[in-house]
Structure 1
Amino acid sequence: MAQIYRRNNLWTYRVWLDHKHSKSKGGFKRRKDAQDAALELELKKKDGTLSEQSDISFAEYFKTWAETYKIGRLHSSTESKYRMAIRLVEDTFNDKKLKNIKTYDYQKMLDLYAKSHARTSTSLLNSYYRNAVRYAMNDGIISRDFTFGALISGNESKDSSLKFIEYDEAEKLKEVCIETGSFLTITRLEILFGLLTGCRYGEVTGLTWDCVDLVNRNVTIDKAYDYIKRTGFKKTKTTSSIRTISINDTLITMFKDLKEQQSKLFATQGFNNKLNFVFITKYHEIPSDNAVNKTLRKILTELDTKNKITFHGLRHTHASMLISQDVSINYISERLGHANISVTYNIYTHLLKTSREQENNKAMDVLNNL
């Protein structure tokens, strides 16, 4: 029940939202006006469209929402994107209330962001805000979705063909890493492993000897390592990233040689590899992504490859090699640890199109030769 009382010869109402929070407003000349305003709030409270957060700013709400539902629950790289989204809305809207954000204002922010970012990045950013706004609507803080109908623009992403090297170039890269890779040149062994498994760099650095099964010829990816902030092991990017990958003769030999070289040197150094790292330097450190990318670029420059890729490009190269040899897309998706097969299709559409055309030509040859 609302409270109606006089203050400084004017009428004021107070409506309790719950046992702790209330909303009040004064300045009414007539008691009836205060009663009518209070009744309106009571009705909103009854139908669930009144909230103690009704005056919260867009920036504050999004920050609270992201910290509640996203940050601390996702991969660090994804969480960093949410933090960027928080900074953007803080810089754009400052203390402007969530309920006062107009579709036009929101579109202007997206358009400004899109000028210096890829269309895919703009689309992802919009999905963050849209999700938060729907939560706000469900909580009765706002009644309209100002992200509805937002137009997505931005720069075109770089051609995906630039992200991997050709099959023959990959063969040469493999041979160089086999010939020159050792415990003393550990980044070359990481490159070899990445090329032949398609693992992400965090998964490579997080690989421990207990996850290497030389008898059954496989490795288990069940964690990653924070090679940027050096905070230790962390979860894989997604739950589907936890997987067991078959390895070939090249990697079996590499692991055997590496284990022997590593054990001998550590024994002379009196070092105990307590965390059981596979890819660790003679100085007992995990190589940085800068170090492995520098080595990779050096090798690719020497091989005069068409494209100079980063370590992540080895993942795309691994997939492209398997696709070119007609390996099932379902198997490739599982091997890469994608959340579902549609992710694999979306990433490698251009390669699958070529493969489909080849299959179509083979099918027509069969039919023509009947």
Structure 2
Amino acid sequence: MASIVKRGRSYRAQVSLYKYGEHKKLTKTFATKKEAKLWTLEVELAKGEGKELAQRSTTFSDFFENWIYLVKINDVKETTFQNYVRTLGVIRNLFQDIQLKDLNDIVVQKKIDEYAKTHSRKTTHEVLLKIKTSLRDAYARGYIANDFARLVKTRGENPTKRNKALSITDFKKLRNHVLQHPEDEFNVLVLLALETGMRRGELLALRPENLYEYGIEVRHSISPTSDDTSLKTQNAKRDVSINKEVFELIRKIPVKENGHIFSFGGFKQSELLAQLLTELDINKTTFHGLRDTHASFLFAQDIDIGYVSKRLGHINIQTTQNYYLELMPEKKHQQDADALNLLSAL
């Protein structure tokens, strides 16, 4: 049942809802009676289609929170769930008290564009993907009137890549240094990252029982934000061969009380790596950059991409091609020279 009441120069429209034994009312004020009539008609039609109109006055932030704790918590890994929790903070800051009924592609696009001003395109895209997934769920449940999520786009620029692969020259320089100073446990960790291309979490998760002659069983990964030690993907479960010299250096490291070979060290490995690279006058990169360096070095030596993909624990070769097929500078220069020579010989 709908009603429209004139209040001063405006009109208040009201629609009664009844569901599950509860009476609720939706109200909205308009400047003209025509607008009020149109709104009540739309609401009555939606009500007749069984839409969950009462839920539409819920703020998007509250809906997203309920959604991740009731739905996503059972669908994703603990580390992924923690990403959703962090995204909740972003959404509360961006959308504040905006209700589901007031959302559309323009509203969401403006909020995403606002977020993109201070964040990378990749980070913005990851936030938007979570927003889109929740909006599709809201539409399926009748909480929003339109499935507009697909219309919202990621914008913004990507910052300079932080995890760049080292040049062959810097790769050799760093490798020689850590090999010559194995008394520092961190140097062995860096060496192993260069030698295997393992992720930082996989390295920190190593236990003595993961070592064999001469190789490493990659079975777990440590995260600073979660107690979940499962690997990123099923393909990440793999065996990685290493040479005898590196194997013996790892075996000499005293096992910690928690059963792991390497100390977590408050997860300050990134800072320690930055200090080490500065001391050696090597261009800065990250631990993931050491993984890139390992892959790039193998490519530079013409190692089969299928082997490299399995060694890195990628889900398929396409992933390896998309993210790691960056030639080291020296190799690229050689390839350029080879290509020009071939063209000149035509």
1:172 to 2:155 alignment: no
SS of residue paired to 1:168: helix
Structure 2 regions of 5+ residues with no counterpart?
A: 2-13, 28-40
In 2, the alpha carbon distance for the partners of 1:289 and 1:26 equals 51
1:321 to 2:297 alignment: yes
**1:59, 1:93 within 8 Å by CA — same for their partners in 2?**
yes
Alpha-carbon shift at residue 303 of structure 1 (Å): 2.9
Aligned pair count reads 319
**2:238, 2:313 within 8 Å by CA — same for their partners in 1?**
yes
1:132 aligned partner: 134
1:219 aligned partner: 216
Alpha-carbon shift at residue 150 of structure 1 (Å): 2.2
- The one-character-per-residue Cα deviations of 1:83-112 (angstroms, maximum 9, x if unpaired) are 332122222322322121132221111111
**1:44, 1:50 within 8 Å by CA — same for their partners in 2?**
no
SS of residue paired to 2:217: strand
Given the two structures, how large is their TM-score scaled by the length of structure 2?
0.77
Opposite residue 298 of structure 2, the aligned amino acid is L
In 2, the alpha carbon distance for the partners of 1:12 and 1:296 equals 63
**2:78, 2:228 within 8 Å by CA — same for their partners in 1?**
no
SS of residue paired to 1:288: helix
In 2, the alpha carbon distance for the partners of 1:210 and 1:121 equals 37
SS of residue paired to 1:220: strand
SS of residue paired to 2:151: coil
Alpha-carbon shift at residue 138 of structure 1 (Å): 1.6
Change (3 A) 1:246 1:304: same
In 2, the alpha carbon distance for the partners of 1:26 and 1:54 equals 9
User: Which of 71, 74, 81 matches 2:77?
Assistant: 74
In 1, the alpha carbon distance for the partners of 2:278 and 2:82 equals 32
Alpha-carbon shift at residue 25 of structure 1 (Å): 4.0
**1:219, 1:246 within 8 Å by CA — same for their partners in 2?**
yes
- The one-character-per-residue Cα deviations of 1:105-146 (angstroms, maximum 9, x if unpaired) are 211111111111111222222111111111111222223133
Q: How does 1:140-289 map to 2 (within 5 A)?
A: 140-159=142-161, 163-182=164-183, 185-214=184-213, 217-226=214-223, 228=224, 234-258=229-253, 262=254, 275-280=258-263, 286-289=264-267
- The one-character-per-residue Cα deviations of 1:180-226 (angstroms, maximum 9, x if unpaired) are 113xx211111111111111221111111111112xx2211111224
Alpha-carbon shift at residue 359 of structure 1 (Å): 9.8
User: Which of 97, 100, 108 matches 1:98?
Assistant: 100
Given the two structures, how large is their TM-score scaled by the length of structure 1?
0.73
1:86 aligned partner: 88
**2:178, 2:191 within 8 Å by CA — same for their partners in 1?**
yes
Alpha-carbon shift at residue 332 of structure 1 (Å): 2.1
SS of residue paired to 1:210: helix
Opposite residue 92 of structure 1, the aligned amino acid is L
Opposite residue 74 of structure 1, the aligned amino acid is K
Structure 1 regions of 5+ residues with no counterpart?
A: 3-10, 28-35, 264-272, 281-285
1:300 to 2:307 alignment: no
1:15 to 2:18 alignment: yes
Quick one: percent identity of the two aligned structures? 26
In 1, the alpha carbon distance for the partners of 2:42 and 2:109 equals 33
Change (3 A) 1:164 1:41: closer
In 1, the alpha carbon distance for the partners of 2:206 and 2:199 equals 11
- The one-character-per-residue Cα deviations of 1:230-250 (angstroms, maximum 9, x if unpaired) are x75622233332222122233
Change (3 A) 1:130 1:208: same
SS of residue paired to 1:244: strand
**1:194, 1:200 within 8 Å by CA — same for their partners in 2?**
yes
